[in-house]
Structure 1
């Protein structure tokens, strides 16, 4: 599996990967609507690719199966989305993408990785905790803004959590 920085040409493939990954939510009654929900647009992927903060997992030349898109906010690399195509899940691809993002944060002198996710969904907060992320009790401004935007989009805010991984923490 090759993990590499995304190119503008990759942006057209990323919504399909996210849609495939979101099918997992069909197994959770109160979140099943997310399986058919809106995904990140191609122009938004392009915006982040131009910042140099999007990684893709390429199974073979031209065959993308996962991505992580992020943005530097307040000296942290904030992860907006990590998705792995449904039939490629449970193979460590998400972990490889996270390691690439962590290495980027380390190499560029950032303080941490940050994200928002579901508290009690197995492949969300519990998986990020295994990687070393810690729930944040008092979210910074960019994390509060992300949580507020998610609430407006209809995500159950009581089920959401902000998390950080200080880059000085050992990768797991």
Structure 2
């Protein structure tokens, strides 16, 4: 699996990856509706690829298997989306993408990676915690605004949390 920076031409393939990844929510209590929820469109992916840091996982045949979309805010790299196509899940690809984002943050002298996620879904907060991310009891304005925006989009606020991984010299392993 090749992890590389996303190219503008990759933008059209990313919504299908996100949609496929979302099918796993059919197994999460009360979240099956996310299987049919809107995903990030190609034009928004293109904007993120041009203006921020996005990586893809490319299979040997050239097909894209996964992506991570991030953005720098002050001294932190925020993970907006991490999606692995259903046929490629449970192979460590998400970890490879997180590693790329972590190295990017280290190389730019950033202080942390941040994200928002479900607190009680096994492949969300518990998986990030294994990588060293910690829940933020007081997420600060930027992350609280993100959580509030997610609630306005229908995500249950009582199940959403912000998490942070401080950046040091070594990335925590699973």
Structures share fold, TM-score greater than 0.5:
yes
Gaps (5+ residues) in structure 1?
A: none
- 2:142 — aligned with what? 142
Whole-angstrom CA distance in 2 between matches of 1:145 and 1:132: 23
Paired residues of 1:67 and 1:82 also in contact (CA < 8 A): yes
Corresponding residue for 2:45?
Answer: 45
Question: CA separation in 1, counterparts of 2:119 and 2:5?
Answer: 29
Q: What pairs with 1:6-25 in structure 2 (closer than 5 Å)?
A: 6-25=6-25
Q: Deviations over 1:93-138 (max 9, x none)?
A: 0000000000000001111100000001000000000011010111
Is 2:102 aligned against 1:102? yes
After the TM superposition, which segments of 4 or more aligned residues of structure 1 sit over 6 Å from their partners? none
- Describe how 1:22-171 pairs up with structure 2 within 5 A: 22-168=22-168, 170-171=170-171
Q: Distance in 2 between matches of 1:169 and 1:157?
A: 33
RMSD: 1.1
CA displacement at 1:60 relative to structure 2? 2.2
Contact 1:77 1:113 in 2 (8 A): yes
Matches of 2:41 and 2:97, distance apart in 1: 20
- Report which stretch shifted further, 71-80 or 15-24: 71-80
- Structure 2 unpaired stretches of 5+: none
CA shift digits 1:21-63 (9 cap, x unpaired): 0000011241000001000111111111112400000012531
Tell me by how many angstroms 1:164 deviates.
0.4
CA distance in 2: counterparts of 1:112 and 1:163, whole angstroms: 10
The answer on whether the counterparts of 2:106 and 2:169 sit within 8 Å (CA) in structure 1 is no
TM value normalised by structure 2:
0.96
Normalising by structure 1, report the TM-score. Answer: 0.97
Task: Label 1:107 to 1:169 Cα distance change in 2 as closer, same or farther (>3 A).
Answer: closer
Q: What SS class does the counterpart of residue 77 from structure 1 fall into?
A: strand
Question: Tell me, what secondary structure is at the counterpart of 1:60?
Answer: coil
